[in-house]
Amino acid sequence: MIFADPPYFLSNDGISCQNGQAVSVNKGEWDKSKGLAADMEFYEEWLRLCYALLKPNGTIWVCGTFHNIYTIGYLLRVIGYHLLNNITWEKPNPPPNLSCRFFTHSTETLIWAKKSKKAKHTFHYDAMKAMNHDKQMKCVWTIAPPPKVEKTFGKHPTQKPLALVERCILASSNIGDLIFDPFMGSGTTGVAALKHNRYFCGCETDLDFFELSERRIGSQ
């Protein structure tokens, strides 16, 4: 199974609100767009590499917002993936919309896809139902952002909550499976994988974030 949280390319010198203060949305050079064509080429390159890594019955989760998720969904189909679900991650307390000219951005999207349409993929239906008060798990998940305890070893500007990644792993992999994260960031996927008795492999180009992941995953 692959869990990918790629750059959204949203570092465009805009502002947002955090703890009642205006803050820059810039996260680093890695999150700056190089133009639509270059961004699409980047997404296609790593999605093809992931496709080659997956077993026939393997699945991939890819995170995004409306800024990039439609491009990713299109490329997944072009490459040959079969789409299974789009999950809406609802954030219960999102930053306010400072411009008051459109709806407040309060969600992100995760696309779940498998390598081969014909292969039987893993989905733990009963486990998801048990997590949801014995009702079918829907495709809208309300999960809070990462709490402070998940940032004990350092901060990452786009860190995903452990609960979100755990749910994906528990839903679509088995004990002893290998979980791969091509954009490791703060190491959340590694923490979730080891916590639930999976193996883990991850990549990270930023040395500071790589060392953060090492510290965090090493504490497990």
Beta-bridge partners for 22:
17
| Amino acid 23: pLDDT | 60
User: Given this model, what pLDDT does residue 18 score?
Assistant: 61
Residue 12 reports pLDDT greater than 90: no
- Taking domain 2-14+28-218, whether its CATH number is 3.40.50.150 is answered by yes
Label the pairing between strands 15-18 and 21-24: antiparallel
pLDDT band at 158 (very low <50, low <70, confident <90, very high): very high
Q: Which residues pair with 87 in a beta bridge?
A: 110
pLDDT band of residue 13 (cuts 50, 70, 90) is low
Strands 2-4 and 59-64: what pairing? Answer: parallel
Q: Give residue for tokens 């491009």.
A: 71
Number of H helices, E strands in the chain: 6, 9
pLDDT at 19: 58
Distant-in-sequence, close-in-space partners of 210: CB < 8 Å, separation ≥ 6: 184, 204
Average per-residue pLDDT for the chain: 93
Q: Where are the domains of the chain?
A: 2-14+28-218
